[in-house]
Amino acid sequence: MSYTRVPYLQVHTKILKITLLLALLGGAFLVLFLFNPSQHSFFLPCPFKFVTGYNCPGCGSQRALHQLAHGNIQTAFFLNPLLILSLPLLIYSLGLKLWNYLFETVHRVRLFYSNLFIFSYFGIAIAYWIFRNLPIYPFVK
Q: Which CB, 8 or 113, lies closer to another protein?
A: 113
CA distances from 129 to 58, 82, 88, 121, 135 (A): 9, 10, 21, 12, 13
Quote the least distance from Cβ 70 to another protein, whole Å.
Answer: 19
Please identify, using beta-carbon distances, which residue of 23 and 118 lies nearer to another protein: 118
> Which is nearer to another protein, 31 or 96 (by Cβ)?
96
Least separation in angstroms between CB 107 and another protein: 5
Provide CB contacts within 8 A for 100, sequence distance 6+. Answer: 106, 107
> C-beta of 140: minimal distance to another protein in Å?
20
Q: Which is nearer to another protein, 69 or 96 (CB)?
A: 96
CB 5, min distance to another protein, A:
17
- Contacts to another protein by CB under 8 A: 44, 46-48, 50, 56-59, 61, 80, 82-83, 86, 89-90, 93-94, 96-97, 105-110, 112-115, 118-119, 121-122, 125
Cα(96)–Cα(112) distance, integer angstroms: 13
Cα–Cα distance for residue pair 101/103, rounded to 1 Å: 6
Which residues, at least 6 apart from 55, have a Cβ–Cβ distance to it below 8 Å?
A: 46, 49, 129, 132, 133, 141
